[in-house]
A = this chain, B = another copy of it.
């Protein structure tokens, strides 16, 4: 049985959101599964010296336009959130907390959090907003609130991010197929071909 595909993403990343709507179905067409792995791009950018796209001269304006155009190209509901970009510790912690108990539900929660942010314009960087979205997905609000402040959960997220950086992950989405890394929602076509041919 093949190893799952690793899907790294930041909850604040429009291209990560677009890929999140596509990657499981794409993998399934090739008989593969996907492990979702939220990261914190802020920590990654300390290594690469990068800055969030929206603030870069010329590139920022283009990026905002391209987010929406690319979402439409891929048939994905999207609007630029009012608060953008955001720190994504709260949703990442919620994800990894639930993932320790139930990875299938954790993936569904990640999809709900992405939808809340990029469709319903809910600022999931606020812990209480992440908790409210999670509660609507059936999670216990009080337990999650405790988890978001639990040093062990904070450390678990930090360890996941450090492990990702160690593997060379520097952006969102970043998808690793059998050791082969692909960066960007615009590499989904290459991933599809790679899975079909075993590389080229």
Of the residues B48, B56, B169, B190, contact of A57 by C-beta under 8 Å? B48
Task: State how many copies of this chain the complex holds.
Answer: 2
**Any B CB within 8 A of the CB of A105:** no
Question: B44, B66, B193: which contacts A73 (Cβ < 8 A)?
Answer: B193
Stretch at the interface among A106-114, A119-127, A148-156, A180-188: A180-188
- Looking at the complex, which one of B47, B50, B51, B58 makes contact with A168 (CB distance below 8 Å)? B58
What CA separation (Å) do A63 and B168 show in the bound complex?
12
- Bitwise, A189-200 to B at CB < 8 A (1) or not (0) is 110010000001
The reply on A70 being an interface residue by CB < 8 A is: yes
Contact A186 B184 (CB under 8 A): yes
A window 39-67: CB within 8 A of B: 44, 47-51, 56-59, 61-62, 65-66
CB-defined contacts of A193 to chain B, threshold 8 Å: 73
Residues on B with C-beta less than 8 A from A69 are 190, 200
A interface, CB within 8 angstroms of B: 44, 47-51, 56-59, 61-62, 65-66, 69-70, 72-73, 165, 168-171, 181, 183-184, 186-187, 189-190, 193, 200
